[in-house]
């Protein structure tokens, strides 16, 4: 059994952390392949709750080697404080592998993220302010700083100079900010070099050798399909590829190695930040989903926008990721509604549309077409098998499966590791 990808099928926060942790005990490596500390993945083990931002959720499974791949953008101060936070709680982090090719989020990238958002005003994206977009921009512009640059002071200095040459002009002349000193940045970055050194390695080689030895590798996506820079609701997206193909480029593993792509799908929909969201609710149902589902951002503490399940989006996620399975999460949150609306199609300018429109204008005008499914009132948090679920909950899952285009192989009925109904085994 070679490589599996586990990714968000909606706009992030689907429960990827919980799903990854659940599989952590049966896999040898868990790899983050894109994004950075914009992610916030929650794992609940017994009475302990962990919020992971940069580290793969597999770090909590003792037999598993956690890997930060080349496609990730790394804020060294966040990484080091996340590691020490886990160490203080007794988690062994010594096996972590960090790609020398991963790009570094520098202090000026964080500044540019915040300043750009402020200047966009009401057109802002609502980023997490962690410097993600500007760091990927530097990577594509070929003025990025990589982890390996921390080990050559001369190269590091030249690269920081090159990056700041232009940025300082923009910061001072356009945004009215103070210039950032090259020496200060270089000194700060060099300060991380020794602390990160034990983890830095050629992760592409390690992962490919592991696959040759039939080890099981799990790729854990950050964000979600609709936040993908190519396939999401551009420009209201993140600056990387959370979709399945991103696992190949972000870890240096060929697509022929990937046998399973699992989409994590919330039983309703949420979104943080700006951008279109056809099934968004502005009434007491939306408020109830937020309250019962605890829908508050793990990274920024912002309230998440909430709405009903959108099957058009789920079908789209199946297609662009080649999903083989879904892991449906948070079904328990829907307990208590007499009827549950599910969006089966959109109405755009008076026409019924079954698939996600590629045009931004159309998507902004999309109105959900709802089908009402009967709800249930029984507590489902103790359900262990599909048969333990009330008939209407079973019918809800089956209806979603039919509309979404891939089998639902697991169902989350609570945040804990064991609060899961496993239908088809993933490994
Ligand atoms: P991620 O970013 O995809 O890892 O998701 P987040 O951690 O940001 O948000 C998911 C939230 O839902 C977390 O608080 C999880 O503990 C919680 N969660 C995950 N699965 C379930 C589930 O099946 N039921 C309930 N009630 N909560 C869940
Ligand atoms: P996890 O991995 C939900 C959103 C931000 C913003 C947009 C761009 O926990 O699912 P960025 O800082 O990435 O440039 O912001 O993307 N966003 C997320 N939304 N969950 C996430 O991560 C997110 N990471 C970024 O809110 O709208
Ligand atoms: Mg999250």
What residues does each domain of the chain span? 3-93+202-422, 103-196
Pick the ligand that lies closest to the CA of residue 234. 2
Helix (H, G, I), strand (E, B) or coil at 88: helix
Calculate what percentage of the chain has a pLDDT beyond 70.
100
Residue 283, Cβ neighbours under 10 Å: how many?
A: 7
**Distance between CA atoms of residues 264 and 326, nearest Å:** 6
Pick the ligand that lies closest to the CA of residue 271. 2
Between the CA of 39 and the centroid of ligand 2 the distance, in Å, is 6
* Backbone phi, psi, residue 193, to 5°: -55, -55
Pick the ligand that lies closest to the CA of residue 43. 1
Q: Whose CA is nearest to atom 28 of ligand 1?
A: 415
Q: Whose CA is nearest to atom 11 of ligand 1?
A: 15
Classify domain 103-196 at the CATH class level: mainly alpha
Residue 150, Cβ neighbours under 10 Å: how many?
A: 24
Q: Determine what percent of the chain falls in helix, strand and coil, rounding each to the nearest 5.
A: 40, 20, 40
CATH number of 3-93+202-422: 3.90.170.10
1-25 pLDDT, tens digit per residue, is 689 999 999 999 999 999 999 999 9
Peptide bond into 235 cis (omega under 30): yes
232-276 pLDDT, tens digit per residue, is 999 999 999 999 999 999 999 999 999 999 999 999 999 999 999
Specify the ligand 1 atom closest to the Cα of 44.
16
Ligand-binding site membership of 377 (annotated) = no
Ligand-binding site membership of 217 (annotated) = no
Helix (H, G, I), strand (E, B) or coil at 56: coil
396-399 long-range CB contacts below 8 Å, 24 or more apart?
Answer: 396/267, 396/331, 396/334, 396/340, 396/342, 397/328, 397/331, 399/342, 399/373
**Residue stretches of the chain with pLDDT short of 50:** none
pLDDT at position 2: 85
273 lines ligand 2 (CB under 6 A): yes
CA-CA-CA-CA dihedral for 305, 235, 51, 315, to nearest 10:
70
pLDDT at position 265: 98
Residue among 127, 239, 275, 302 to mutate when testing ligand 2 (max atoms within 8 A of CB): 127
Q: Whose CA is nearest to atom 6 of ligand 2?
A: 127
Q: Whose CA is nearest to atom 17 of ligand 1?
A: 415
pTM to 2 decimal places: 0.98
Between the CA of 417 and the centroid of ligand 3 the distance, in Å, is 16
User: DSSP letter string over 93-145?
Assistant: -TT-EEETTSEE--HHHHHHHHHHHHHHGGG-----SSSHHHHHHHHHTT---
263 lines ligand 2 (CB under 6 A): no
Burial class (CB in 10 A: 0-12, 13-18, 19+), 48: exposed
Between the CA of 217 and the centroid of ligand 1 the distance, in Å, is 22
Contacts with 46 (C-beta within 8 Å, 6 or more apart), sequence order? 416
């Amino acid at each position: 059994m070679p490589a599996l990808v586990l990714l968000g099928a909606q706009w992030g926060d689907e429960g990827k952390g919980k799903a990854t942790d659940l599989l952590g005990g049966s896999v040898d490596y868990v790899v983050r392949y894109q994004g950075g500390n914009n992610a916030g993945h929650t794992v609940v083990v017994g009475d302990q709750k962990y919020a992971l931002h940069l580290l793969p959720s597999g770090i909590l499974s003792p037999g598993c080697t956690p890997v930060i791949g080349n496609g990730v953008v790394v804020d060294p101060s966040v990484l080091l404080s996340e590691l020490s936070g886990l160490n203080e709680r007794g988690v062994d982090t010594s096996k972590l592998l960090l790609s020398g090719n991963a790009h570094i989020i520098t202090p000026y990238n964080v500044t540019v993220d915040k300043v750009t958002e402020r200047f966009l005003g009401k057109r802002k994206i609502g980023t997490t302010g962690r410097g993600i977009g500007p760091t990927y921009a530097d990577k594509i512009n070929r003025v990025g700083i990589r982890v390996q640059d921390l080990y050559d002071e001369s190269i590091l200095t030249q690269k920081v100079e090159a990056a700041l040459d232009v940025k300082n002009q923009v910061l001072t002349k356009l945004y009215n900010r103070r210039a950032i000193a090259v020496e200060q940045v270089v000194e700060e970055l060099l300060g991380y070099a020794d602390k990160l050194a034990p983890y830095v390695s050629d992760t592409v080689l390690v992962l490919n050798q592991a696959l040759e030895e039939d080890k099981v590798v799990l790729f854990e996506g950050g964000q979600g399909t609709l936040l993908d820079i190519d396939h999401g609701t551009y420009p209201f997206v993140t600056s990387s590829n959370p979709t399945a193909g991103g696992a190949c480029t972000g870890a240096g593993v060929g697509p022929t190695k990937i046998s399973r792509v699992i989409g994590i799908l919330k039983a309703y929909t949420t979104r943080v930040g700006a951008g279109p969201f056809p099934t968004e609710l502005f009434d007491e149902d939306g408020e109830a989903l937020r309250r019962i589902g605890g829908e508050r951002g793990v990274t920024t503490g912002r309230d998440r926008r909430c709405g009903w399940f959108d099957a058009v989006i789920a079908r789209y996620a199946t297609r662009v990721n080649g999903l083989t399975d879904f892991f449906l999460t948070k079904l328990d949150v829907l307990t208590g509604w007499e009827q549950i609306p599910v969006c089966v199609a959109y109405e755009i300018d008076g026409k019924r549309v079954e698939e996600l429109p590629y045009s931004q204008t159309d998507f902004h005008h999309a109105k959900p077409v709802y089908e009402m499914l009967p709800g249930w009132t029984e507590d489902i948090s103790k359900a262990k098998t599909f048969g333990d679920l009330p008939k209407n909950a079973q019918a809800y899952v089956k209806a979603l499966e039919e509309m979404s285009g891939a089998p639902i192989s697991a169902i989350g009925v609570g945040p804990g590791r064991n609060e899961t109904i496993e239908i088809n085994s993933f490994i």
